[in-house]
Amino acid sequence: MAKIDVSKVAEILKKNQIDPALLRRVIEEMNLAVQPDPGEEEKPPAVKKQFVILVSDPEGRLPKNDFVGWVLQIPESESPATTRDRLFRSSYDFNMTKKGQMMPVKTVGEAIENVPGKFFKEADVWVKTKTPVLVIKTDNEIPKE
């Protein structure tokens, strides 16, 4: 929808010889209509968000140091164990293209960052984070205090 300035509408109405009293009422009503609602005046800027992977490690089997990962999605009906194969298949398919032969991906990180989404979509895997995110671990217990 195109928007037009209230003053421009006033000029058009004057040019078409609208009754001055009617013109004044119309302009006042238009000025009221374009004012923001009291509740909508100034919204604070949206908070920037990031993905974090929280991993349950009650037996302490994961590394003690920080490590990273990627957030991916696969169809709900499929086993999560197929995720790596889907990623590898997408990478193989990309590496067979002209661009992939010029700059083949060799690591999971390179694949996630550089392989176009259409290759992932064909393998039913969707990349939610192109850059790795920090994986946070928990012992799965809520402290009592």
What confidence score (pLDDT) does residue 40 get? Answer: 62
Secondary structure of residue 139 in the 3-state scheme:
coil
Q: What is the mean pLDDT of the chain?
A: 86
Residue 61 pLDDT class (50, 70, 90 cuts): confident
Answer whether 0.75 is exceeded by the pTM: no
Look at 1-5, 70-74, 106-110, 123-127 and tell me which has the smallest mean pLDDT.
1-5
Higher-confidence residue of 40 and 88: namely 88
Q: What pLDDT was estimated at residue 56?
A: 84
Which pLDDT value is given to residue 125? 93
Residue partners of 135: CB distance under 8 A and separation at least 6? 52, 53, 54, 55, 66, 67, 68, 69
Check residue 23 and give its pLDDT: 81
In the DSSP assignment, the letter for residue 131 is: S
pLDDT greater than 80 at residue 96: yes
pLDDT at 1: 66
Q: Residue 95: which residues within 8 A CB-CB, separation 6 or more? A: 101, 104, 105
Asked whether residue 137 carries a pLDDT value surpassing 90, the answer given is no
Does residue 30 or residue 39 have the better pLDDT? 30
106 or 46, which is more confident? 106
Instruction: Determine the Cα–Cα distance for residues 140 and 108; give it in Å rounded to an integer.
Output: 29
Determine the average pLDDT of the residues in 123-130.
Answer: 92
The domain locations on the chain are 6-36, 70-138
CA 33 – CA 137 distance, rounded (Å): 53
Predicted confidence at residue 72, as pLDDT, reads: 93
End-to-end CA distance of the chain: 57
